[in-house]
Structure 1
Amino acid sequence: MPSLSLKIVQDGGAVTRKVKFDSRMTVQDAHKLVKEKVIVPDKGKEYGLFLRSADSSLSGVWLEEDRTLDNYMLRDGDSLDYICRMRNLRVRLLDDTVKTLQVDEAKTVAELMMEICARIGIKNYDEYGLCHEEVEEVEDAKEKAGTLKRPKDRDVALEQLSRKLNTDDNVAWLDQHRTLREQGVDSKDTLLLKRRLFYSDRNVDSRDPVQLNLLYVQTRDAILVGRHPVTEQQGQIIIVFLEN
């Protein structure tokens, strides 16, 4: 039986225990063995095994239950973090509302979007995404709210934007197919919830105040910071239309 000795790390390194495994066993069976060997403060909580990246202590990969340890090319002496999967996640909406939600961080971002949007009251969760806060741009948009650039400044900005093609596609969205921890999202981070895809106006429910308000704020700020270059007259018409 090919044995494999691994360090099981708890509480960010405060507790470490060596456990021997059969390298051919599934992660699910390895998890059961870990439960027998380590002391867990709250046995009612869900835990998982996490392999930290060699490049960054903040990122890595969750071990999938149906795979074997061999799949992860683990060697004697390697470390696995034994982490509680439930954590608080701070999500800021574009209207500056901040929600603190408890999520399973072993789930992918796509899976979390279903839960997050359901709790907030957004039906078309597949059109929304999470990204890191854009502090400078947000503050700039707040300062410009209700105003537009003067013609001369606007012309220069439009010329620069047309060359850079600075659109919403440049937002550094979190990968929908990876988990928060795999992407280095710390528990202290606040993520921004924004509309990522625009399939059709038919998906916008005019009777849904939550979705309408978020769409209005996102569209307004995109115009004010120059993501959607428009003339002064077009901008005024659009903002008046959205406000009504």
Structure 2
Amino acid sequence: MAPLSLKIVLDEGAVTRTLKFESTTTVADAQAQVKEKILTGDDGKVYGLFLTSADDERSGIWLEGHRQLDYYMLRDGDQLHYLPRMRNLRVRLLDGSVRTLQVDESKTVEELMVDICARIGITNHDEYGLCHDREEPDESKLPAGTGTLTLRRVAQKKERDAKLEQLSKKIKTDDNVEWLEQKSTLRELGAGDAPLLLKRRLFYSDRNVDARDPVQLNLLYVQARDAILEGRHPVTEDQGE
């Protein structure tokens, strides 16, 4: 078969080179040729070939190493982006701690949750999700002797009382959380350097929470506490104590 001429884009478009490949060349071998013929040094990073969609350069697919190029029905002149696959992702937990984890950008959010939860120490990864972080109050600026719980209780008491009656009429409450799409990659979702918030997305049953698991118990407590104090889960004052 005739050689396939492809434009290899590096450094987010700063460099473009045209290379010829046999259509039966595997993606892994094509990456090796790019590294040999275009790159001048080895920076130690793990790279991959990314085929963008016609509508949005952030969207597309990462080519799988064991596939042949003809599997993706590439044509002469098509562009492939040669991109680092690994990136540092900052994940904030509800207890305020921030973990910096190295993740594979070729994986979907759903796949990443397996790795992220395993490193943090959470076993039931399918119950957790990622969402964009919200600005939290700066506790260093609070008056002496005033904790976050006290501040929220005072500042939101009137608003919470008004919400309770309205929320109690609903069959279920809505946290208004915009979860990251499970089937998309971080690149497709435009996730930048800002931390992402990890929190429980699904509640199957309290039986799934092991009383001997301090990580999950703490995260569950913080999430439930905040939901009550912010009026998203209506409870009586006695129940909230």
TM-score over 0.5 for the alignment?
yes
Residue 102 of structure 1 is matched in structure 2 by 102
The correspondence for 1:154, drawn from 149, 161, 166, is: 161
More helix by share: 1
Runs of 4+ in 1 over 4 A off after TM superposition: 160-166
Residue 56 of structure 1 is matched in structure 2 by 56
Is contact 2:228-2:235 (8 Å) kept?
no
Residue 196 of structure 2 is matched in structure 1 by 191
- The structure-2 alpha-carbon separation of the partners of 1:2 and 1:204, relative to structure 1 and needing over 3 Å to count, comes to same
- The structure-2 alpha-carbon separation of the partners of 1:77 and 1:164, relative to structure 1 and needing over 3 Å to count, comes to farther
Is contact 2:167-2:173 (8 Å) kept?
no
* Alpha-carbon RMSD: 2.9
- The structure-2 alpha-carbon separation of the partners of 1:112 and 1:156, relative to structure 1 and needing over 3 Å to count, comes to closer
The correspondence for 1:204, drawn from 196, 209, 217, is: 209
User: Which runs of structure 2 are paired with 1:1-244 in the superposition (5 Å)?
Assistant: 1-39=1-39, 41-42=41-42, 44-135=44-135, 145-147=152-154, 149-150=157-158, 154-156=161-163, 158-159=165-166, 166-168=173-175, 170-186=176-192, 188-228=193-233, 230-233=234-237, 236-238=238-240, 240=241
Is contact 1:131-1:174 (8 Å) kept?
yes
Residue 143 of structure 2 is matched in structure 1 by none
Kindly state the Cα deviation for residue 121 of structure 1 after the two structures are TM-superposed.
2.1
Which string of whole-angstrom CA distances, capped at 9 and with x for unpartnered residues, describes residues 122-158 of structure 1?
Answer: 22222211111234xx55xx686345533x8634564
Which string of whole-angstrom CA distances, capped at 9 and with x for unpartnered residues, describes residues 53-110 of structure 1?
Answer: 3333433321123444344443332321111212110111112211111112222323
Q: Distance in 2 between matches of 1:121 and 1:64?
A: 29
Moved more, 104-113 or 82-91: 104-113
- Identical aligned pairs, as a percentage? 60
Any idea what SS the aligned residue of 1:215 has? helix
Query: Can you give the 5+ residue segments of structure 1 that lack an aligned partner in the other structure?
Result: none
Q: Distance in 2 between matches of 1:189 and 1:21?
A: 38
Kindly state the Cα deviation for residue 47 of structure 1 after the two structures are TM-superposed.
1.2
- Structure 1 counterpart of 2:157, one-letter code: K
Which string of whole-angstrom CA distances, capped at 9 and with x for unpartnered residues, describes residues 9-35 of structure 1?
Answer: 222223221111234544233323323
- The structure-2 alpha-carbon separation of the partners of 1:95 and 1:129, relative to structure 1 and needing over 3 Å to count, comes to same
Q: How many residues align?
A: 229
Q: Distance in 1 between matches of 2:90 and 2:210?
A: 26
- The structure-2 alpha-carbon separation of the partners of 1:164 and 1:77, relative to structure 1 and needing over 3 Å to count, comes to farther
- The structure-2 alpha-carbon separation of the partners of 1:2 and 1:172, relative to structure 1 and needing over 3 Å to count, comes to farther
Q: Distance in 2 between matches of 1:80 and 1:31?
A: 11
- The structure-2 alpha-carbon separation of the partners of 1:227 and 1:22, relative to structure 1 and needing over 3 Å to count, comes to farther
